[in-house]
């Protein structure tokens, strides 16, 4: 993935840097969205393996709470 300075210096960029960055707010956020939404293309651009989706772990079940005894009435 190109850095902002590399993108600005590129002669064949399809649009200006600010126009490309504007919808995302920052270049790093745009890279993060590409990495999460297009892992295969990200891997080709960065020579990394596409991460396999991690299996969802089951949430641990909470242990049942012990019932509290009702308070005893005071003797008169």
Residue 37 has a pLDDT of 93
Rounded CA separation 65/40 (Å): 47
Residue 42 has a pLDDT of 87
Domain boundaries, the chain: 18-47
Output the CA–CA distances (angstroms, integers) from residue 72 to 66, 67, 68, in the order listed: 18, 15, 12
Residue 36 has a pLDDT of 92
Report which of residues 25 and 61 the model is more confident about: 25
Per-residue model confidence as pLDDT tens digits over 3-59? 888 888 988 888 888 888 888 888 889 889 989 999 998 888 887 555 566 677 676
Q: Per-residue pLDDT for 65 more than 80?
A: no
């Amino acid at each position: 993935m190109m850095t902002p300075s590399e993108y600005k210096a590129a002669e064949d960029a399809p649009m200006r840097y600010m126009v490309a960055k504007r919808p995302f707010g920052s270049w790093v956020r745009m890279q993060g969205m590409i990495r999460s939404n297009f892992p295969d293309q990200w891997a080709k651009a960065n020579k990394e393996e596409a991460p396999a989706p991690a299996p969802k772990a089951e949430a641990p079940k909470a242990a049942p709470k012990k019932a509290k005894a009702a308070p005893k009435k005071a003797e008169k």
